[in-house]
Structure 1
Amino acid sequence: MVLVMGRPGGGELGAVVGVLREWQREGAVAQLHPGDVGWFWRFGAEAVGGAVRVWRRGGRVLAVGLLDGERLLRLATAPEVRRDEAVARRLAEDLSRPERGVLGEGRACVEAPGDALVQELLAEEGWGTDEPWTPLRRELGEPVEEPGVRIEVTGPGRAHVRAAVQRAAFDNSTFTEARWRAMAAGPPYDDARCLVAHDERGAAVAAVTVWSAGPGRPGLLEPMGVHREHRGRGFGRAIALAAAAALRDLGASSAFVCTPSAHRAAVATYVSAGFRPLPEVRDRRRDG
């Protein structure tokens, strides 16, 4: 049967998120997580529907992509077809040819599992590699140490606080209370929590959103940030510990995060919170 690409129809997004949950496996190479789609949901369900691509064979979903902006596709595949040549060739063709309607002309990037055959086929199509990222993982079999600061779980009445910390942590952030509400209304947030850390005076100093994929599966931190006026005081470690503890409470087997390798302070923060660096990964990049 031919692999067919399309967009999810109305009401199908929840099913796509469910498929992504099933594909998360402990010990496997990390790939697009339900939490990645959940974080994108801050732009609303219509935007998610326009950004998601699915590849089906015989009606079964075998690959899911999320257009995270105009030039980056984040790709996941069913574990059993990751080295399937027919699937990989169709994916590589769809991603390399602008007329297929996935990525346009010019520079583009594809984030795909490192052991997927599509990585090699994109290289054959002339795709190079982008800047390195460092994945980090913390096992959650044992209880997580206390963060040492007060941690608040964000509800609708405190969404403005969570949004304000996000904007203070990332210079170009457009996160708002309204976008938090849109995110929280999406099906991925059923297995998620937003946490805010407060200092001894009660100021909100750091925040994180954690996403579970279900009991016994890896959970994701996306995003995590420390208020620019409160950096260098250990709040990054504290919120990372709180994130790991929250994912353990949600039944996750491990906590996973990925950060640009050039952000050495971020890597060091996660390591200080018990996360173990894994081998670097790189997106596939086409320059023209």
Structure 2
Amino acid sequence: MGAGRGDVTVLPEAVDALREWQREGAPFQLHPGDLGWFWRFGEEALTAAVRVWRRDGRVVAVGLLDSPGLLRCTIAPDAQQDESLARRLAEDVSDPERGVLPAGKVCIDSPVGTRFKELLFSRGWQTDEPWTPLRRDLTSPVPDPGARIEVIGPDRAHLHAAVIRASFERSTFVDERWHTMASGIPYADARSLVAYDGDAAAAAVTVWSAGPGKPGLLEPMGVHRDHRGRGLGRAITLAAAAALRDLGSSSALVCTPSSNVGAVATYRSAGFEQLSEIADLRRD
């Protein structure tokens, strides 16, 4: 049992496992949409960033090196209290020579309540900055967003990319990266949306389904810096929830830094329930 990496066949395995593990009531965890969003950097880059642990040929844990010092890792529901798996994971992430995480300051995002996380605390890992997960139930129809919404296809990718770039500082999301993202396996269950302010594309989101009856994910959602304060964040979030409902998702999930009080307020205004804070673990 070890952390497989560098093999292109790992991506379908990882996406399938993450789809299977999504379920209502589970702690916030790595979603196939997270791999789908990372796919914008290309299949080779994602393959290098994914870590997969197997037991008897079955995938039991999946990690994504979301940045050089941040590993997002989740575990199969029936293996979250498995002592031998938890110890192997803890050893792998703690030893830079194993190639899972580099030396120096690093963080791990992993679901609460697992034996793996308990072991990291016992090894001296510390709680990092808090994040706020939010959830909207999709049993009932979603209200009209109150803005013109467009589902973005390849011929309009530049609009979606431009809004995302204008929503986040240092964003490098150009239309070529949209096309690369859309070529990935997870995008078969995804939609990109834009909300308009008059004739201007002003807010954008991509939503990722994990399959019918499972929670879907918003990643990313942004409002153009020139169009803020006009309710477009709420509008595009409502449109995102409606799109996930159309895809068969049971709920819509999103997670944002707790320090981003404006984002939390926007999601709550769109009917999302604020859940208990979570936090990465940090090793200095």
Deviation at 1:111, TM superposition (A): 0.3
**TM alignment of 1:10-25, pairs within 5 A:** 10-25=8-23
| TM-score, normalised with respect to structure 1 | 0.97
Aligned residues: 284
Q: Deviations over 1:204-228 (max 9, x none)?
A: 1100000000000000000000000
- Over the matched positions of the two proteins, sequence identity in percent amounts to 66
One-letter amino acid of the structure 2 residue matched with residue 73 of structure 1: L
Tell me the alpha carbon deviations over residues 12-59 of structure 1, each in whole angstroms, 9 at most, x when there is no partner.
312320111000011111210000000000000000100000001111
Q: Secondary structure at the match of 1:266?
A: helix
Alignment of 1:118-197 (within 5 A): 118-197=116-195
**Could you list the per-position Cα deviations for residues 239-264 of structure 1 after superposition, in whole angstroms to 9, with x for gaps in the alignment?**
00000000000000000000000010
Which residue of 21, 33, 36 maps to 2:34? Answer: 36
Q: Measure how far apart 1:110 and its partner are.
A: 0.3
> Displacement, 1:10?
2.8
Q: CA deviation at 1:69?
A: 1.1
1:30 and 1:267 map into 2 onto residues whose CA distance is: 16
Q: Distance in 2 between matches of 1:116 and 1:257?
A: 21
Paired residues of 2:8 and 2:44 also in contact (CA < 8 A): no
Q: Quote the residue 2:214 is aligned against.
A: 217
Structure 1 equivalent of residue 66 of structure 2: 68
Query: Within the alignment, does 1:95 sit opposite 2:93 as a pair?
Result: yes
Instruction: Render the CA deviation track for 1:163-184: whole Å, top value 9, x for unaligned.
Output: 0000000011000110000000
What is the DSSP-based 3-state SS (H/G/I as helix, E as strand, rest coil) of the residue aligned with 2:169? coil
Contact 1:8/1:54 (8 A) holds in 2: no
In structure 1, distance between residues paired with 2:8 and 2:25: 34
Aligned to 1:115: 113
1:256 maps to 2:234: no
CA RMSD in angstroms, aligned pairs only = 0.8
Any idea what the Cα deviations from partners look like across 1:137-168, whole Å, max 9, x if unmatched?
00000000000000001101000000000000
Q: Are 1:271 and 2:268 counterparts?
A: yes
Question: How far, CA to CA, are the matches of 2:146 and 2:46 in structure 1?
Answer: 37
Shift of 1:11: 3.2
* Alpha carbons 2:132, 2:257 under 8 Å: kept: yes
Q: Is the 8 A contact 2:3 2:100 kept in 1?
A: no
Q: Which runs of 4+ in 1 moved over 4 A?
A: none
Identify the residue that residue 240 of structure 1 maps to in structure 2.
237
Partner SS, residue 68 of structure 1: strand
What 5-or-longer segments of structure 2 have no aligned partner?
Answer: none
Q: Secondary structure at the match of 1:149?
A: coil
TM-score scaled by length of structure 2: 0.99
What is the distance in 2 between the residues matched to 1:8 and 1:21?
Answer: 21
- How far the C-alpha of 1:8 sits from its partner, in A, is 5.7
* AA aligned opposite 1:229: D
